[in-house]
Amino acid sequence: MREAPERIQRLPEQYFTALLARVAAAAAADGEPLVDLGRGNPEVGPPPHVVEALAESAARPDVHGYAPFAGLPALKEAIAARYADVYGVELDPTREVAVLPGTKTGLMEFALCAVERGGTIVLPDPGYPDYFSAVALAGAAVASFSGFDMPGDGMYLNFPTNPTASAAADGVFDEAVEWARRNAAWVMHDFAYGDLVFDGRRPRSFLAADGSRDVGIELFSMSKSYGMAGWRLGFALGNAELVRRIETLQDHAFAGIFRPVQEAGIAALTGPQTSVEERRATYERRRDCALEALPGLETRSEGTFFVWFRLPDGVTVERILAEQRVALAPGEGFGARGAGWARLSLAVGDETLERGLERLRGAFH
Ligand SMILES: Cc1ncc(COP(=O)(O)O)c(C=O)c1O
């Protein structure tokens, strides 16, 4: 058999596939039932009116053919209206919005559409592992972010950050815009956890920064704000040229998104928004429980549904998995600078979290 093409070979091991396999193997071993706080998979689905919109749409005879490749105009208008209401950002739905089959796809598309092979893409470290995959797919080189004085052709930003759970600091988006201008580079802001911020913070869109849409896009996901991770629906918003390139790529690689999913997306974006705040408040409450259970540890959690914490000396996530039977995501999986840290997920039921925290107390005292 011939070898796989180089572009496939250079993809890193898919971090989450490997993590899930390790946790499944541990779960199958004898002992107490495992508590999985390793995964970031929303535990509560969308509100009922969204599911009803999907079912009603799917029951119609005229929705089963190919949907328009570029997405429903009404869906683009719905996300643009939400951006105006929630983030104070005015967008042209026809030119500045692309509909994506989930923002994970958009992470790959940004690298492919923005940076030439051999270029350099600056990534957060620690950061979301799929960014490394995107850079590899585009045949570009990774540079770990060490400040806005470094050169590069593209940059990934992510606030609130997975895995470090940090909210955007004042001025960071303005600095990113300046950086892009100086380097004639593109910026992508991954806003997957945008609405999940704590302690009275307001959600901050990159696109609210002056000049941002001259230099970049933001990816908005339906997965976390609305509990629709399995539905695969998201958006690329901002720079019209990048939006056009992404739509061109999608015209070749995909054939639109199932119309009932898009119509339910419209229902989610334009209907009652109480579930978004309920979800945010639930994670904040769980965050407080987790911080209380981990006294004396260095912890971060300003947003997302994660707590990022430094492991006590001599403690590893492997040991916690084997001895306490609690799965955590090991920090080094998110980049070299994550070594010695771990990510705990709050996207589990209260009882599961309580059980996991109780066991962790045992590990750290
Ligand atoms: C930082 C970050 N970006 C992007 C994604 C992908 O989200 P989506 O479900 O929209 O593909 C995730 C999902 O976990 C994430 O954590």
**pLDDT tens-place values along the chain, 365 residues long:** 999 999 999 998 877 787 788 888 888 888 889 999 998 898 899 999 999 999 999 999 999 999 999 999 999 999 999 999 999 999 999 999 999 999 999 999 999 999 999 999 999 999 999 999 999 999 999 999 999 999 999 999 999 999 999 999 999 999 999 999 999 999 999 999 999 999 999 999 999 999 999 999 999 999 999 999 999 999 999 999 999 999 999 999 999 999 999 999 999 999 999 999 999 999 999 999 999 998 889 999 999 999 999 999 999 999 999 999 999 999 999 999 999 999 999 999 999 999 999 999 988 86
Question: Which pair of structure tokens corresponds to residue 231?
Answer: 């539905």
Q: How many domains does the chain have?
A: 2
- Is the peptide bond between 5 and the residue preceding it cis, with omega within 30 degrees of 0? no
**For ligand 1, what atom is nearest to the CA of residue 128?**
1
Which amino acid residue places its CA nearest to atom 1 of ligand 1? 162
| Best mutation site among 19, 107, 224, 228 for ligand 1 pocket (most ligand atoms within 8 Å of CB) | 224
Q: 243 and 160, same structural domain?
A: yes
Query: What's the DSSP call for residue 273?
Result: -
Q: How many CA atoms are closer than 13 Å to the CA of 229, on its beta-carbon side?
A: 12
Burial class (CB in 10 A: 0-12, 13-18, 19+), 282: middle
**For ligand 1, what atom is nearest to the CA of residue 224?**
9
Query: Who lines ligand 1 at CB under 6 A?
Result: 40, 102-104, 128, 158, 162, 190, 192, 221, 223, 229, 234
Q: 166 and 83, same structural domain?
A: yes
Distance 162 CA to ligand 1 centre (A): 9
Q: For the domain that residue 252 is a member of, what is the CATH number? A: 3.40.640.10
Distance 222 CA to ligand 1 centre (A): 9
99 close to 126: Cβ distance less than 8 angstroms: no
Q: 216 and 96, same structural domain?
A: yes
Q: For the domain that residue 333 is a member of, what is the CATH number? A: 3.90.1150.10
1 found inside a domain: no
126 found inside a domain: yes
Boundaries of domain holding 195: 49-270
Q: 131 and 71, same structural domain?
A: yes
| Best mutation site among 125, 221, 224, 228 for ligand 1 pocket (most ligand atoms within 8 Å of CB) | 221
Residue 10 neighbours by CB under 8 Å, 6+ apart? 136, 139
Distance 99 CA to ligand 1 centre (A): 15
Q: Coil, helix or strand for 67?
A: coil
Torsion sign over Cα 9, 13, 17, 22: positive
Q: 116 and 213, same structural domain?
A: yes
Which amino acid residue places its CA nearest to atom 2 of ligand 1? 192
Question: pTM value?
Answer: 0.96
